[in-house]
Every structure is written in C-alpha cells, then in structure tokens.
Amino acid sequence: MKKIVVAGAGGFIGGHLVKEIISKGNKVQAVDIKPLNEWYQVSEEADNLVLDLRLRENCFKAVKDYNEVFNLAADMGGMGFIENNKAACMISVLINTHMLIASRDCSIDRFFYASSACVYNGEKQTDPENPGLKESDAYPALAEDGYGWEKLFSERMCRHFSEDFRLITRVARFHNVYGPFGTWDGGREKAPAAICRKVIEAGFSDKKEIIIWGDGHQTRSFMYIDDCIKGILDIMYSNINEPINLGSSEMVSINQLVDIVEDIAGYKLERKYDLNAPKGVRGRNSDNALIRKYLGWEPSVPLKKGMKKTYEWIKEQIVNEHDNKRKERFNG
C-alpha cells in the first residue's frame, strides 16, 4: 500500500483519480481549496483536506508522511475562463513551486504534474487541419497567454527539481478532457460539456437554436476521462522523463462536435455563430507517436461513445435542476 497525495482532488479529473487510486488498495490524502460540499466527487475512504496550496506551509501539511504526489491543482477552466483570467491562472505557479519544495524536503518518491496542450507554440496552431502537435513543438516558446505560460514554466520547474535534487517527476500534457462529473455550466466548462448543455437546454425551450463560439471550423481533440486516468497512472510509473502528450488524436471541428451531440439528442438546431467570443487557437491535435513508443498505448475511447455517456450525465443534472426549481416554486 502506497500513501499518495492528490492535489486538486475536488476537481473533475482529481475526483476520478482519487477513486481509481483507492480501488488499487492505496491510502489517499485528497486536497483541494474548495469547500468539501463543492467537490465534484468526494471519496469517503480518503483523508479529505481543504487547503489553499498556493501557501507554502499548506503544501508541507499536505505531503508530510506521504510517498507520492499527483499535482492536478490549478485555477483553470475552458477557453472563456482562461482568456479572461490570465493573472489568476498565472498565480497557480505558486502551487506547483511550493508542492515541489515540500516534496523535496519531505522525501517524496515520485511527483506527477498535470500540464496542458496550452504550452504549445501558437504559431503551430493556426491551421484547422493541424497534423498533430509533437512534444518538441512547445519550443521555441509561444504558449497560450497566462495559463499556457504558467504550465510551461512549471514543467521546467519539475525538470530542474529532477536534475538538481533527484526528485522523480513525471509531466503529462493534457488535451481537452471530458466526461461525467465534469464542469458543465458556470463559465469554466469546456466545449464538450458546454455543447451538451446548450443542446439539452434547447430541447426544453421553444427556441431551437444553439450559439457556437467562433465560426465552428476551429478543431480540437477530446479525451475521455477513463483514458486520462489510465494515462496518468501509466506515465507516473513509467521511465518517461520528458513531458509527454496525453490526448486523443481523433480531431474534430466544433461544428462536427455539435453534429455528434445533435445525433445523440435526436434533433437538429439552428446554428448561430458568435465571432467575438473566446475561441482559442485555430487548430489543435495530439501527436501520439511518443506515448505509443513508450507505453504501446494511446487514448482510444471513440468520441461518439464518450460523448453519449457525458450527454446522458449532463442531461440528468439538468433534469434534476429543473425538477428542484419546480418543487421550490410549488412549495413557495
């Protein structure tokens, strides 16, 4: 049995990771800044701590007497959030810096850092027909302003803590993770969840339309949560010393993503395009040659399959929300 810290355990990916690590017989200390009632999932078997990991002393509290650290903690969200909260995203650099220092000083054996495809050079993402971003495409550096630069800097911190202090660090660059128990409203949600929500809500409305950010031709790849969790664990316990892509190579346009969700819903909507909304880079996809080379595996859950599960979960949340509002009106 290992004693493992998961930072950012109250988030979407962190909640799934905690459950998987516990299922393998390990002891988990789950840490997040959010109050416990705001965590996406809470595992009663874990030791659940509410701590602000931007503060150095809290990082020492989190890792003391533990063996390994998975650092997923960050102030982040979808494109709408990161384009309008660049300073908040940059401040997350304190989390990884202080977690690395605490891990070094408390003799942590292994340290995993969740990076992002937002580290990649923006000039390599101007074509919707993106052939796939190779790990080397992060340099020369021209990362996503704010969030991407913080991730790239923190990757370098991991590298130098390995070189200077012999702390084993592993870094994965996530490409758009989606699935049940993820953010689906409130401004931090990413495209798969946002489109599911919009299509579902249009089904309840007389107005059968959907507003799409940008012209819909921008492209992305989307990785289902089960693939993400497997990838995190495989990379953590591998011999991969450099940052590596963790994402699906099944690239689609946003218009195609809407097609998929409409097919699941069983109805079509009139599309309206908001060309002034945040839309990020023009084209982004994951080149998985390196992960196939090292692990003989790559994320492979088909987008249609993962989106169906995600759609059904979000629909359940929306139906429950509508039912609760009706009950409140009735009781009022």
Which residues are known to be catalytic? 147
Quote the CA–CA distance of 191 and 254 in Å, as a whole number: 8
In this structure, are residues 239 and 194 in contact, taking their beta carbons and an 8 Å threshold?
A: no
Structure tokens at 4: 């493992």
Single out the residue of 118, 108, 182 nearest to residue 147, CA to CA.
Answer: 118
Quote the CA–CA distance of 10 and 180 in Å, as a whole number: 14
In this structure, are residues 127 and 284 in contact, taking their beta carbons and an 8 Å threshold?
A: no
Report CA-CA distances (Å) from 144 to 83, 98, 141: 9, 23, 10
> Helix (H, G, I), strand (E, B), or coil: what is residue 114?
strand
Quote the CA–CA distance of 295 and 231 in Å, as a whole number: 9
> Pairing state of beta strands 68-71 and 3-7?
parallel
Amino acid at 127: D
CA end-to-end span of the chain = 52
The 8-class DSSP code of residue 233 comes to H
Is the four-CA dihedral 232, 233, 234, 236 of positive or negative sign?
A: positive
> Helix (H, G, I), strand (E, B), or coil: what is residue 251?
strand
Tokens 């302003």 belong to residue? 145
Quote the CA–CA distance of 164 and 158 in Å, as a whole number: 10
Q: H or E element: which one contains 148?
A: helix 147-165
